[in-house]
């Protein structure tokens, strides 16, 4: 996982400055390059049409679906989702082995290079677990979607009927 070069990079630069005047310029140059790299990666990956069904009470679980377009030359992976309306989230795939289809938890959702991936109930999707509140149709909330290469992208989620 890439080093967080925001505030942590600045603090690390100050710490290194106290210890070594030679390492500081090199570390700060690498740290700054990483910030630019993450900004470019976010521009090549977009999220649209993020949505969940309405929920009349707290405590339940809901599927979060969305469309992810990766215009980069390399594949990426959805690692984590953080939403203020749920305590947890899991990445799932629907397994169509023998018998009835079943959801299976997976460590990440692969996002192919130069492709559009639709997360939907009967394929790859994210489950929001243990809702903290009821969700009425028409409401919106923001979620942080964390990718292996593109970093964190905030997206607005629409509550549907």
pLDDT value of residue 43: 67
Cβ-Cβ contacts under 8 Å for 11 (sequence gap 6 or more)? none
Query: Cα separation of 10 and 33, whole Å?
Result: 13
User: Same domain for 29 and 53?
Assistant: no
User: Same domain for 51 and 84?
Assistant: yes
Domain count, the chain: 2
User: Same domain for 58 and 100?
Assistant: yes
pLDDT value of residue 42: 52
User: Same domain for 25 and 87?
Assistant: no
Structural domain containing residue 25: 7-44
User: Same domain for 125 and 115?
Assistant: yes
List the single range of 72-76, 92-96, 103-107, 151-155 with lowest mean pLDDT: 92-96
User: Same domain for 101 and 118?
Assistant: yes
Query: Cα separation of 106 and 153, whole Å?
Result: 20
Rounded mean pLDDT, 26-30: 40
Query: Cα separation of 59 and 46, whole Å?
Result: 30
């Amino acid at each position: 996982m890439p080093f967080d070069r925001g505030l942590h990079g600045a603090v690390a630069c100050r710490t290194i400055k106290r210890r070594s005047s030679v390492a500081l310029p090199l570390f700060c140059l690498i740290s700054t390059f990483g910030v630019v790299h993450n900004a470019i990666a976010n521009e090549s990956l977009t999220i649209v049409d993020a949505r969940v069904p309405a929920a009349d009470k707290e405590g339940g679980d809901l599927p979060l679906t969305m469309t992810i377009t990766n215009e980069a030359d390399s594949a990426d992976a959805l690692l984590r989702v953080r939403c203020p309306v749920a305590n947890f989230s899991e990445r799932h795939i629907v397994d169509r082995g023998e018998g009835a289809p079943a959801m299976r938890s997976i460590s990440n959702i692969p996002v192919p290079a130069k492709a559009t991936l639709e997360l939907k109930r009967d394929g790859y999707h994210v489950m929001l677990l243990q809702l903290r509140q009821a969700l009425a149709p028409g409401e919106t909330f923001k979620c942080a979607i964390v990718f292996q290469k593109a970093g964190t992208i905030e997206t607005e989620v629409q509550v549907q009927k």
